[in-house]
Amino acid sequence: MDINSIAKEVFAIESQEIANLSRLLTDDFAKSIEAIYKSRGKFIISGMGKSGIIGKKIAATLASTGTPSFFLHPGEAYHGDLGMIEKEDIILLISNSGETDEVLKLIPFLKSQQNTIISMSGNPDSTLAQNTNYHLNIAVEHEACPLQLAPTSSTTATLVMGDAIAVALMKLRGFKDENFAMFHPGGSLGRRLLTTVESVMKKENLPICKKTAGVKDVIHHITDGKCGLVVVLEDKKIVGIITDGDIRRFMESKEEEFFSLYAQDMMTQNPKTIQSSEKLVAANEMMSQSKINSLLVVNEDQELVGIVQLYDL
């Protein structure tokens, strides 16, 4: 048995079913998005079994991309948690068959409270579809399961429809990476977008020297500073930078006169600097564009206050 061929067959079946979703899309999708976008309430998602598991993921994606959302288990809702639903809230009910009893039991309450109800099922003629304001068709012709029993293609289709909702709302809201970072402060993106250079820069025992420093002193400063560079200062102003790479290049190109050189002979003038108040994302972009791994951090008077390096980000 070729195990890899089984995986490829699953990929082919599910990708085809996802592609088929486009032809099932109706005006109800656009109307649903408009209703969610204009709503002043929350977007609450409910579903049983595998549909519920996918519903949790959809709610999490929405909540992290600017749409207040949470998952509500239909069984718990029917036994007291309906109190979480307010009149302004919009509800998404998920059931592949459209006949899941626990989900259908929520409809009378939602209608009595006049909530807008969106359904997601594989049957536009189902009880669920016929009793909601808008219906999103997630019908699949074939499950990837060889027995056509385990939800596979159908759960993937549900997930993709949920992603389409989230992305449509993101674009309507003009949701940007800065907004995403606000909801993900613990992630690498959040850290770069919210943390300032001052928070991570090296600011103690900075490797500095004067223009008249000899080669041996320059090498000592680079070694002691452990930053792979030394900053050349003149009257507290930055006039240049020398990296360990510069040292190696001068050793090769000026071998005979190397030890008679001074810092001013080897330094690169006008090195790249960044304000200490800038965010890490700005530092990362500057390093990437300039193809360097260190930036000199300055204050408002353009005085050296620190060094930030790529591994700090």
Q: Is 101 helix (H, G, I), strand (E, B) or coil?
A: helix
Please determine, for residue 94, whether its predicted confidence score (pLDDT) is greater than 80: yes
pLDDT at position 194: 64
136: domain CATH number? 3.40.50.10490
Domain hosting residue 145, numbered range: 3-175
Q: Are residues 238 and 151 in the same domain?
A: no
210: domain CATH number? 3.10.580.10
pTM of the predicted model over 0.85: no
- The answer to whether residue 183 sits within a structural domain is no
Q: Are residues 163 and 271 in the same domain?
A: no
- The answer to whether residue 216 sits within a structural domain is yes
- The answer to whether residue 186 sits within a structural domain is no
Q: What tens digit of pLDDT does each residue of 22-74 get?
A: 999 999 999 999 999 999 999 999 999 999 999 999 999 998 888 999 999 99
Number of domains in the chain: 2
Distance CA 281, CA 274 (A): 12
* In contact, 94 and 54? CB cutoff 8 Å: yes
pLDDT at position 191: 58
Domain edge (last residue) among 145, 175, 205: 175
- The answer to whether residue 276 sits within a structural domain is yes
* In contact, 276 and 231? CB cutoff 8 Å: no
Burial class (CB in 10 A: 0-12, 13-18, 19+), 157: buried
Q: Smallest Cα–Cα separation from 284: which of 297, 271, 293, 296?
A: 293
Q: With bands split at pLDDT 50, 70 and 90, how would you rate the model's confidence at 312? A: confident
